[in-house]
Structure 1
Amino acid sequence: MATTADVRHDLASLADPRRAEAVSRFLQMTPGGYGEGDRAIGVSVPEQRRVAARYWRDLSLADTAKLLTGSVHEERLTSIFILVRKFAKADEEERGRIFSLVLAHTGHIDNWDLVDSSAPYIVGPWLVDKDRSVLDRLAGSSRVWDRRIAVMATFAFIRAGDFDWTFRLGDRLLRDPHDLVQKAVGWMLREVGNRDRAAEEEFLAPRYRVMPRVMLRYAIEKFDPQRRQEYLSGVV
């Protein structure tokens, strides 16, 4: 049976101090950054995915949770890759346990890569046919990562052709002060538009002049240049 120590050993054997420095800058783990206080050891994402592929079947949920609460960023991201694999292959009961584990540990899902690797693949898929009120709670959190989890979870609904919660949370977070939430909302609006441009533009029409510029730019990124300029110039 695999253990947390096995995964940590494999990750440590792949550590690269130079990459760790680059990751620390990229994910703003430096003083004053949104990831301040975190620690990277410099394991690439493809290498982490390979480690996850090696251990996901044999590592217990309890040991995976230990990884998720670790102080090393790559341990937490690898644990999420393991959980996503487990969730995809699990029955309904096990999926519920994985969802609950993630929701109980959102305090350790504390950078955008951790959010974006979990919310659309565990949180959202679990809630597709269930009560989604937990997303309202997350959207009302003072933690930027909770708010991003709420928005990114709606990607699963969008894939199912359901845009209501993307619009609901987009309205609620329309003036969110953090650019990582603004980008997430814009991104999900863009995903709606990739499937139903009319629905996206109906949402944008009464709001695009007041939403943060970065949110708007993300939302209209796939529009043709002329239409994009009309939105940016406020003449739609």
Structure 2
Amino acid sequence: MNQRPVKSAQQLIDSLESLANPEQALLSLRYMKSAPGDYAFGDQFLGVKMGPIRDLAKTYRNLPLSEVLLCLHSPWHEVRSCALVIWTLQFAKATAEQQQTIYRDYLANTDFINNWDLVDISTPKIVGLYLLDKPRNDLYQLVKSDVLWQRRIAVLACFPMIRNGESTDILKLCEVLLEDKEDLIHKACGWMLRELAKRNQAIVEQFLQDHYSQINRTQLRYAIERFEPELRQRYLKGQF
């Protein structure tokens, strides 16, 4: 019986390139802030939406690690996105040893995880899940990075921990990032505080009160989004 041929990175890239849409690519370039002077300047887009990317990731979910890495190193944003979705699918079914390999390769290749969507679709499902029952030292190294995306990885990795009822790490990381200059970090911290508030609003309120003079307004608005309207207005006015 003939064996099914092993899929390759080039086959996946060819499949994505066949779906290219120049008009959508231009919209993506603007939306993802990849023009000169923007935070993701230089990123390149095929113009493929997330639905087809996820479908292809399922088709290529058994792509060998070396081939996934080739895709992750692609100049095309959508190819990198597909590689990361494949990793999340593989991680979910992997042995402990395989998960460790994916985790290590993920952190070794953060230069290619270089926009907010790439971080958000992959970090919680790989870094966050891996660290649920392990020391979080890597997060405290990432949060000190000069690279915006590495700091966002540190924050988004806390999502599974928050869902697991934990609050210590996200509060410590948000405190470290209070003076951060990047809007995408304020939004990430505010988002995670909002998720924490769904489970423990009192601890988020205490954090906001303790750091009210430092906290960015964007982060504050994200954090209190689910508060009762009257309470939300009080926090916006600093009346608590």
TM-score range, shorter chain: over 0.9
TM-score by length of 1: 0.98
Q: 1:3 aligns with which of 8, 13, 18?
A: 8
Paired residue for 2:179?
Answer: 175
1:226 positional shift? 1.0
User: 1:200, CA displacement in angstroms?
Assistant: 1.2
Q: How many residue pairs end up in the alignment? A: 235
User: C-alpha distance in 2, partners of 1:131/1:61?
Assistant: 25
**TM-score when normalising by structure 2:** 0.96
Structure 2 unmatched ranges of 5 or more: 1-5
1:13 to 18, 33, 37: 18
Cα distance in 2 between the residues matched to 1:39 and 1:232: 39
Partner residue in 1 for 2:40:
35
- Quick one: which of 95, 98, 117 aligns to 2:99? 95
- Measured in 2, the distance between the counterparts of 1:21 and 1:224 equals 40
User: How many Å apart are 1:208 and its aligned residue?
Assistant: 2.4
Correspondence list, 1:1-150, <5 A: 1-57=6-62, 59-150=63-154
Residue by residue over 1:162-219, the C-alpha shift from the partner in whole angstroms, topping out at 9 and shown as x without a partner, is 1110001011111111000011001000000011111211221111232011010110
Deviates more, 1:205-214 or 1:126-135: 205-214
Distance in 1 between residues matched to 2:81 and 2:150, nearest whole Å:
16
Question: Is residue 208–residue 215 contact of structure 2 (8 Å, CA) maintained in 1?
Answer: no
How large is the Cα RMSD of the aligned pairs?
A: 0.7
- TM superposition outliers: structure 1 runs of 4+ over 6 Å: none
Choose the corresponding residue for 2:193, options 173, 189, 196. 189
Once residues 178 and 160 of structure 2 are traced to their aligned partners in structure 1, the CA distance between those partners, rounded to angstroms, is 20
Cα deviation, 1:45-104, whole Å, max 9, x if unaligned, reads: 0110000010012x1011101111110000000000000000001110100011011000
Alpha-carbon contact 1:209-1:234 (below 8 Å) kept: no
Which amino acid in the other structure matches residue 29 of structure 1?
S
Percent identity, aligned pairs only?
Answer: 41
Which residue among 134, 143, 154 is the counterpart of 2:158? Answer: 154
| Structure 1: segments with no counterpart, 5+ residues | none
